[in-house]
Amino acid sequence: MAKRKLVSDQSTQDDTLVDLGSVQKQIDDLWLHYGDRIKYVGGGILAVVVAYFAYQNFYAGPRQQEALKQMFIAEQKFAQDSFQVALNGNGVEFTGFKDIASQYSSTPAGNLAHYYAGVCNLNLGNFDEAVKYLDDYDGEGKLGCIMKHGALGDAYSEKEMYDKALSQYEKAVDEGDDEVLTPYYMKKLAMLNLYDKINKPAEAKKIYKSIKDKYPKSIESQECDKNIARLEAKGF
């Protein structure tokens, strides 16, 4: 996860200043292209448009900046595996992911805090809380969706809810083709199929072969031949 640079108070203020000229230009451009339709339907549409731009520039933007500032130290603690502190903060320097997710839920940073809070709880053994936060995380883009479903797979595995874990790992694999994350969760999916309570060795063998064929340069591919040989020795 890329680290964000901590900004000074002055630069933060500069970042959150509203460019009124830019807002007005957006409204002017909208009127230029859709003015006839707006006049035909009614001036109420323009009021909605103005309200939208005002919300984005005067409220949502500054809250996003504040959430990012709050997350900076929490992300550092997370990278150091200090999951308890990253989740709850220290009450002095910074707010943890739990409060950021609650207080800034309408911002992209607040949304991401749900993922962080879920993974923190997963590492702390709070599996029900992990599922709750990860469910609330709106995975954005291919990587976000892969990480969400993969972490949910881990949480359900820990809860011994293996059918749900399989489903989440399958979703992580199906979400997109990523050279690092996809073979990683394919391996977890294969291992779970080999678990005695699932017991689908033929499916596991198929997955190992797929890792080897599709991601030959991946770390996970290095042990595929050994795992396939073991399964074939057992008649699969």
* C-beta separation of 174 from 142 below 8 A: no
Global pTM reads: 0.72
On the question of pLDDT at 41 being above 60, the answer is no
Q: Based on the structure, what is the number of domains in the chain?
A: 1
pLDDT at 29: 56
Q: What are phi and psi of 135, to 5 degrees?
A: -65, -35
Q: Give the confidence band of 7 by pLDDT, cuts at 50, 70, 90.
A: very low
Share of the chain above pLDDT 90, in %: 56
pLDDT at 56: 44
Q: Which of 5-14, 83-92, 145-154, 202-211 has the lowest mean pLDDT?
A: 5-14
Residue 123 included in any domain: no
Residue 211 included in any domain: yes
- Who wins on pLDDT, 203 or 65? 203
CA distances from 75 to 4, 8, 71, 80, 101 (A): 9, 18, 6, 9, 13
Residue 100 included in any domain: no
Read off the CATH number of the domain in which 166 is found: 1.25.40.10
Residue 171 included in any domain: yes
- Who wins on pLDDT, 142 or 87? 87
Residue 5 included in any domain: no
Residue 179 included in any domain: yes
Residue ranges making up the domain that contains 191: 139-236
Residue 13 included in any domain: no
Encode pLDDT of 101-116 as tens digits. Answer: 998 877 888 899 999 9
pLDDT at 65: 75
Residue 147 included in any domain: yes
